Amino acid sequence: MSNAVAEAPASDSGVQSFIVTFNIRRFDPEVDAEPHWVDYDVELFSTDRVLDALHKIKWEVDGSLSFRRSCAHGICGSDAMRINGRNRLACKTLIKDLDISKPIYVEAIKGLPLEKDLIVDMEPFFASYREVQPFLVANSVPEKGKERVQSIADREIFDDTTKCILCAACTSSCPVFWTDGQYFGPAAIVNAHRFIFDSRDDNAAVRLDILNDKEGVWRCRTTFNCSEACPRGIEVTKAIAEVKQAVLRGRP
């Protein structure tokens, strides 16, 4: 492995490519007692993404490399991982935005059970998500042929938290979540917020009661890791603070 950036010959289009070193934390439960780091040198363009590099490694160098991905456009949230110590989506992280004079370190997100290489068990994350009842509960019946009407102002109250793609980047960046597997975590609270503040919903009191727990909103230490990690730009810490205030008021 070399820390110097090597320039590869220019392509037919004249665009310059570079040899970039990736240091990936590998783990195969069938043969490894502990995770270990493996280096790969990959030829890339500055406009390539980390996901492109992982594809190239898997398809051309080492087919045993395991990671999740689906849409490759920052919508599905399946390729969240730690890149140079920060939670990011591999499909949204451009090579040109990283310091390629040094190896790029890639590993699985923290706080969830490691299954293989960059893949973690997401079930604990989704269990917390399901527990906050992330769906509309409306007791009233709209007029026949009508929808449940909501004003623009009412929609704006929770608009930010509708952007969540359940990538777990926020939750797995939280130091409380790393040390307390029972904590709901930022993503679950964000998705509770989305319905707690929805004027059409009638179940806010139940969700507030669920989150008014020692493993609920009060475990948040306001470190802002979650907001910084969110690939959708959601103000996660602000949403958690708003849920705390709603708990204290006993209503949204």
CB 191 within 8 A of CB 164: yes
**Residue 135, C-beta contacts closer than 8 angstroms, at least 6 positions apart:** 195
Residue at token pair 């890149």:
83
Q: Do 40 and 106 sit in the same domain of this protein? A: yes
- Model confidence over 80-98: pLDDT tens digits? 999 999 999 999 999 999 9
148 and 191 both lie in a single domain: yes
CATH number at 12 reads: 3.10.20.30
Instruction: Report pLDDT digits (tens) over 218-227.
Output: 999 999 999 9
Please give the residue range of the domain that contains residue 134: 123-249
User: Average of pLDDT values for 117-139?
Assistant: 96
Helix H or strand E segment including 191: helix 186-196
The structural domain count of the chain equals: 2
Percent of the chain with pLDDT over 90: 87
Last residue of a domain, one of 100, 120, 140: 120
Same domain, 13 and 106: yes
- Mark whether 49 and 130 lie in a shared domain: no
Q: Is residue 1 part of a domain?
A: no
Q: What is the mean pLDDT of residues 228-252?
A: 97
Percent of the chain at pLDDT above 70? Answer: 94
Task: Kindly state whether residue 90 falls inside one of the protein's structural domains.
Answer: yes
Phi, psi of 36 (to 5 degrees): -150, 160
Q: In this predicted model, which residue has the larger pLDDT, 35 or 13?
A: 35
Q: How confident is the model at residue 3 (pLDDT cuts 50, 70, 90)?
A: very low
Report whether pLDDT(99) > 60.
yes
CATH number of the domain to which 153 belongs: 1.10.1060.10
Residue 5 has pLDDT above 60, yes or no: no
DSSP of 53-65, one letter per residue?
A: HHHHIIIII-TT-
143 and 228 together in one domain: yes
Average pLDDT, the chain: 94
Same domain membership, residue 148 and residue 46: no
Q: Residue 14's pLDDT is what?
A: 59
Same domain (yes/no): 101, 128: no
User: What per-residue confidence (pLDDT) applies to 15?
Assistant: 76
User: Both 114 and 146 in a single domain?
Assistant: no
